[in-house]
Each structure stands twice: as C-alpha cells, then as structure tokens.
Structure 1
C-alpha cells in the first residue's frame, strides 16, 4: 500500500502551470515538523494535478498550514548525462488547516474546506520516465 498523509506548512508559493494539453499541475514543498525533535523539519516535495492543482495555486501561499493525502512516487531522469532520482508526493486530496497566524480561520471564502480531485483527473501510475500513457514533454519536471 502506498499512502502518504502529511501536515505541514508551505515553504514557498506554489507553482501553478499548465501542460500542453491544458491540464493544470502545481508543484510545492511542505515543511513537516519532526515529532520528537524540536525545531527540526523535513522538506517534502509535492505535486498536484487537475482541479486540486488549481485550488492549491489559487488559495495557498508560503506559510499556510495544510494536510495532504497522496502517494509517494519515485522519478528517474537525466541531467547532463548524469542519472538522478527524486521522490515526490502526488497529492490526491488537500485540506486547509489554518492561516499562518495560527488562528484556525480562513482568509478566503471557499465553499468547502477540502477538495478531492475526481478520479478521472488522477495522474498516471508508475514512473514518469516509463513507457506509459504519460507524455514526458507534458510536465517538465
């Protein structure tokens, strides 16, 4: 089973972009506190697709606390002939937790506090570099 649940704060404003087909994707990073190490955090790269990506790009900014649910995905790629591997969390659902001030109130008037992308908008399974229905030129990362 591949299931990742994280609660953390965005380390920078999310990047909202659109692929050649017009499908939205958003890349961002979460700072997730380590439970028994005061002041230490892990920085987790995340990517969302479709309506979830649009929601993230519209409402989230650096410092916002969110909860995400998704799966861990390994990506292999080459840079200047050197093989590299990265790990990203592919976001299935996202929920707003609080504003940066910690007052647990929203700074916007979204109709619901969380959003789950429809199943049809899910990204392809497996390695981005494999020969699947995923077009490498569609999402440049």
Structure 2
C-alpha cells in the first residue's frame, strides 16, 4: 500500500500550469516539521492534477498550512550522463488547516472545508446472491 499523509506549510506559492491536453497541474513544496527535532523540517515536493490543482493554485499561498493525502512516486531521469532520482507526493485529497485570514503563527487545529478530487467510478450492476441482501455500502473498501 502506498499512502502518504502530510500536514505542513507551503514553502512558496504553488505553480499552476496546464499540460498539452489542457489538464491542470500544480507543483508545490511542503515544510513538514520533524516530530522530535525542534526547528527541523523536511521539505516534500508535491504535485496535484485537475480540479485539485486548480483549487491549490487559486487559494494557497506561501506559509499556508494544509493537510494532504496522496501517494509517493519515484522519478528517474538522466542529465548529462548522470542518473538522478526524485520523489514526489501525488496529491489525491487536500484539506485547508487554517481558516481564511488566520495568522501563520497560530498552532491551533481549526479545520476548514476539505476538497477531494472527483473520481470516475463505474458502478457494477447489483446481483442477487442466493436470496441474501447485498449492500455495497456495508464494506469499507
């Protein structure tokens, strides 16, 4: 399972761009505090696509605190004969942690509305399993 959950602050304003197909994407970096090292942080590169990217590009700025849920992706490439490896978190959902106008100095957890990118889900027809009732909402997966 590849699951990444991060809470941190944007290190710079996000870049909102559009690919050749017209699909939006946004690149940004989060400073995530290390739990047992005061004053130390990890800087995590993140990428969002579609409506999530548009939302990030419109509402987030340097210093804003957000929570993201996504997956880790490794990228390998070669520059001047030297092999390079980078890691990005592909954002699937994003949640505002600070309300609009809140100071970046406050540490209170005050969740604001969250946004999850819509996913296309194909619904399978419900089947009769020998007379027992089967409800898809009963299962958490």
TM-score, structure 1 length as denominator? 0.76
DSSP 3-state at the match of 1:17: strand
Aligned length: 115
Runs of 4 or more above 6 Å deviation = 103-106
Instruction: Say whether 1:39 aligns with 2:29.
Output: no
Could you say which residue in structure 2 is the equivalent of 1:68?
68
CA distance in 2, matches of 1:42, 1:7: 11
Offset at 1:81? Answer: 2.4
CA distance in 1, matches of 2:109, 2:7: 14
Q: Which runs of 5+ in 2 are unaligned?
A: 121-141
CA distance in 2, matches of 1:105, 1:32: 18
Could you say which residue in structure 1 is the equivalent of 2:5?
5
Could you say which residue in structure 1 is the equivalent of 2:84?
84
Offset at 1:52? Answer: 0.2
DSSP 3-state at the match of 1:119: coil
TM-score, structure 2 length as denominator? 0.76
Could you say which residue in structure 2 is the equivalent of 1:51?
51
| RMSD of aligned Cα (Å) | 1.8
Could you say which residue in structure 2 is the equivalent of 1:127?
none
CA distance in 2, matches of 1:64, 1:17: 20
Structure with bigger RCO (C-alpha 8 Å, 6+ apart): 1
